Amino acid sequence: MSQGRGRGPWMRGGPWMRGGPPWAGPSGKRPPWWPEGEPWPPPRPPWMRHRGRFVRRLALMLTGVFILVAGMITLGVWLAAAALGVVQVAGPVRLIAVGDLVEGATRIQSGDYGFRVVERGPPELRSVAHAFNAMSERLQATENQRRSFLADVTHELRTPLAIIRGQAEGISDGLYPGDAPHLTPILEAAHTMERLVDDLRTLALSETGSLNLALERIDVAALVVESLASFRPQAEARQIVLRQEMLGDLPSALADPVRIRSVLGNLLANAIAHTPAGGSVQVRAQRSGDYLTVTVSDSGEGIPADLLPSIFERFVRGPGSNGSGLGLAIARDLVQVHGGAITAESQPGAGTTIRFTLPLEPLEQPH
């Protein structure tokens, strides 16, 4: 051990005391009261030999504790400020306006889907805020569609119900006789409601993926001929000519005949309804690679350009249409569940062409 390191003045042999502790007196001699047999001067205690090292370690430990406590206090204040939205966190924690998110979740839970989080901060935080806002927008769009759907269904049901009630009350009160002319409107209104309920059921099954298909090999040419034959009296009554065209040797398609007949019948009914007297409706079938394409064209009034992009949506109806607006939406869903596609082309005053495809082989087994 080096001399004088970590030692007090009397241990270092200062000028005022050499060889003994301060109470030994100026001479440093053994005092009279010192016990016999004890060495003089007394040796330094062990803790005195390491006093300097102890003091340094104690100071280092206290400094570390102070830094740790100060850091914890600073972190607590910083996190509290971030939670309250006072500061914007852009460090390792990557939090985003926690207060805004809590408020947004609360408002969305209460039905306020118009709330949006302010998109600010670094790219990661902006992406989180953008995702939150996209979720709010989807919820708002879904809610708007739900309300619109309920309003449209209510409107569609109200008309036939009014007819049934009016005619029935008239017959019950004796205003109308219970004959065929007065019972026919009741039956027609009941059929309208039945078709609407069936359409809604088909849409619901399609949306939930529960629309089961009875797939089999079908002769599309024969199906076209049968469909045209069923609509021929209706077309002749409106002085509309029905034509068919089969291009090449058509292979059989894998499809549900009942569903495809419904699609084709829907397209034919629309074409006949919107074609003036003296016009024509043509059905064409041909092979297009791995698909079979069926095209229904008419020489009717056409579809307005602003309405064309949305004709396959629910309850969308053209000018003067008396239908429910569900026919083309159902046709789209039925074609898509088969693995095909449906498109429409039209020019006002020049007619409309609707084309759908069916796979010749199953691309994916429908569930």
pLDDT of residue 92: 40
Cα distances (angstroms) measured from residue 209 to each of 204, 261, 325, 354: 9, 20, 22, 25
pLDDT of residue 155: 74
Q: How many CB atoms lie within 10 A of CB 79?
A: 15
H helices within 173-256, ranges in order? 180-207, 220-237
pTM attached to this predicted model: 0.58
pLDDT of residue 52: 57
pLDDT of residue 66: 58
Distance CA 311, CA 322 (A): 15
Q: Give me the residues paired with residue 280 across strands.
A: 241
pLDDT of residue 68: 58
In one-letter notation, the amino acid at residue 236 is E
Q: How many CB atoms lie within 10 A of CB 60?
A: 10
Alpha carbons within 13 angstroms on the beta-carbon side of residue 47 total: 2
In the DSSP assignment, the letter for residue 355 is: E
Q: Give me the residues paired with residue 288 across strands.
A: 291
Alpha carbons within 13 angstroms on the beta-carbon side of residue 164 total: 12
pLDDT < 70 positions in the chain: 1-31, 34, 41-99, 101, 120-122, 124-125, 319-323, 362-367
Token duo for residue 276: 């003036």
